[in-house]
Amino acid sequence: MTFTRRLREWLRPDAEIAGLAGERWVVLDTETSGLDPAKDQLLAIGAVSIDGEGIRLDDSFEVVLHSEPAGDKDNVAIHGIGHEAQSDGIPAAEALGAFTAFVAGAPCAGFHCEFDRIALTSCARTAGVRLTLPRWLDLAPLAAAVVPETYSRGNRSLDDWLTVFDIAVVARHSAAGDALATAELLLRLRALAAAQRIDSFAGLVRLSQQHRWLGAPN
């Protein structure tokens, strides 16, 4: 895929961390035609896997879904998926089937991933596809829990955290580019959590949930 070649150029050399060799996680991002994931059209999915050695450049996924032209010019300017690309996209059932095969039961992570989860399940429901992605890790509350002093200074958005960790992004607001950037962020957060003896997916989920339970906003 062209995405794999782009990943080789974007990947930072210091993204690897120790631990959890052989365990595969999938970091994903979606692009939609608006800000309501339950109602707006799913336009694209980007994903990349990570394991104990870092980001797996040879294990990535990117698809633009077929849809009737949607989104105004401002929306299209953000994600870059024009009406022609939408019309030429892959049918939703085929795209979601390929994505499910790519995930292959691995746990999934994203930044404010509830948006992605709703967008995916809503599209699957419309397309008549069964989509089972039961394990999710949200990096927004995880970042706040792992680096609370940075969070307390007002860092909230993905862009904020990418700046904090000096993670460069070539294609911001593309599903593939944001998935890669989010994967790099997860590696940084996982390394910091591992120093606290928290390095499993379940442990990171519990840590992120503790931040939510304390009533802190994302």
Output the tens digit of pLDDT for each of the chain's 218 residues: 444 444 444 443 333 333 455 699 999 999 999 999 999 999 999 999 999 999 998 999 999 999 877 666 666 556 568 778 888 899 999 999 999 999 999 999 999 999 999 999 999 999 999 999 999 999 999 999 999 999 999 989 999 999 999 998 877 779 999 999 999 999 999 999 999 999 899 999 999 998 876 555 45
110-133 tens-digit pLDDT = 999 999 999 999 999 999 999 999
Residues 78, 84, 85, 91, CA torsion sign = positive
Question: If you ran DSSP here, which 8-state letter would residue 139 be given?
Answer: H
pLDDT in tens, 187-214: 999 999 999 999 899 999 999 998 876 5
Cα dist from 30 to 65, 116, 150, 196, whole Å: 11, 6, 26, 31
The three-point CA angle 80-139-183 to 5° equals 60
Distance CA 1, CA 175 (A): 14
Q: Say how many CA atoms lie within 13 Å of 189 toward its Cβ.
A: 34
